[in-house]
Homo-oligomer: A and B are copies of this chain.
Amino acid sequence: MSSLAEVARHAGVSKATASRALSGAAHVSDATRARVAASAAELGFVASTSAASLVTGRTRNVGVVTPFISRWFFGEVIEGIEEALIDAGYDLSLFRVQEDPDLRQRVFDYFLVRKRVDAVITVCVALSPEEIRALAALGKPVVGIGGGIAGMSSLRIDDVAASRLATEHLLSLGHQRILHVGGDQEERMDFHVHAQRLAGFRQAMATAGHRPGDDFAAATEFTIAGGFATGLRVLGNPATRPSAIVAASDEVAIGVILAARQLGIQVPRDLSVVGIDDHDLAEMFGLTTVRQVPRAQGRDAVGMIMASIDAREITSHDLQLPLTLRVRSSTSAPQPD
């Protein structure tokens, strides 16, 4: 309610001095600063961000663009971002974009442009060339989580390596007939992640001397329900049943495990399953998985943003996060038959 002018009057100083005192700038005596701070506290003064950003051009607000909110990976990332931003005194504007081109255009050409955000974090959004151009034209720091953006900072695990690691684990246990359940070959708009995990699987198989045909990769929606449906489909026929499955995400892996149980297939005795993520539920299902920590990725992305803002320069780092395999009880050597 109260304005800086009132605080200044109450403290017996000018608006200029009051502003300097509150913002921590130099050239204000300790006595004055204390008096202004006391007045501000007494009057319950909170600076209007509109006024401040009008003149400084900085809004203390970061835009987050994501295709999903409730899926585990995305939710965790967003929570990590939110925590870190709040700590830094920033708030977060959330924009959800999926395939709808009209909506995407509105977000990129209108919402992100109206001088409301200091920076943008994209979470697993594959951007069209025009969208990349629009982001670059903002002249503001941009960090992509989980999907690199040409020419901008990114933060991610090496998806190819993660999938390779998961596959190698199964190979080292002696599995021969391994199926990948995840994205399909054609690179979908939103997710090169999917294509890369498939590629990692193929690399590992090829290195081990396998020649997987198309039937060794099954496409699925990236949810528990998707993994379940696909699992029922690919595990239904005992003749063609794989001895192990690499799921492109833990949610898919959990769906597959549930499908196996439904079909009376024992995990890991009859079927080994490995995922990627280390989802909250992985422990409960005893799921062997490649661990990543999306919440930390969110925090780190904010760190990169803040460094860039403080340095007043738009840098472009490419950060790859470490991977670890967590072996639980969903994988074992194949049953000798």
CB–CB B61/A70 < 8 A: no
| A82 with B94, Cβ < 8 A, contacts A46-B113, A48-B115 known | yes
Which residue of B48, B69, B96 contacts A54 across the interface (Cβ within 8 Å)? Answer: B48
| Partner of A284 from B93, B107, B228 at Cβ < 8 Å | B228
A261 contacts which chain B residues (CB < 8 A)? 261
A37: min CB distance to chain B, Å: 15
Contacts of A280 in B (CB 8 A): 223, 225
Q: Which of A71-79, A153-161, A236-244 contacts B (4 or more CB under 8 A)?
A: A71-79
Q: How far is the CB of A175 from chain B (nearest CB, A)?
A: 25
A34 at the interface (CB under 8 A from B): no
Interface size on A, residues (CB 8 A): 47
Q: Which of A103-147 contact B (CB under 8 A)?
A: 103, 106-107, 110-111, 113-116
Known A70-B70, A115-B50; judge A86-B95 contact (CB<8 A): yes
CB distance from A196 to the nearest CB of B (A): 23
The answer to whether A284 touches B46, judged by C-beta atoms less than 8 angstroms apart, is: no
The 3 A-B pairs of least Cβ separation, nearest first, read: A70-B75, A50-B54, A50-B53
The chain A residues found within 8 Å of chain B, CB to CB, are: 46-51, 53-54, 59, 61, 69-72, 74-76, 78-79, 82-83, 86, 91-96, 103, 106-107, 110-111, 113-116, 223-225, 228, 258, 261, 280-281, 283-284
Can you list 20 A-B pairs with a CB-CB distance of less than 8 A? A46-B110, A46-B115, A47-B114, A49-B115, A49-B116, A50-B50, A50-B51, A50-B115, A51-B54, A54-B54, A69-B75, A69-B79, A70-B70, A70-B72, A75-B75, A83-B96, A86-B103, A225-B283, A225-B284, A228-B284
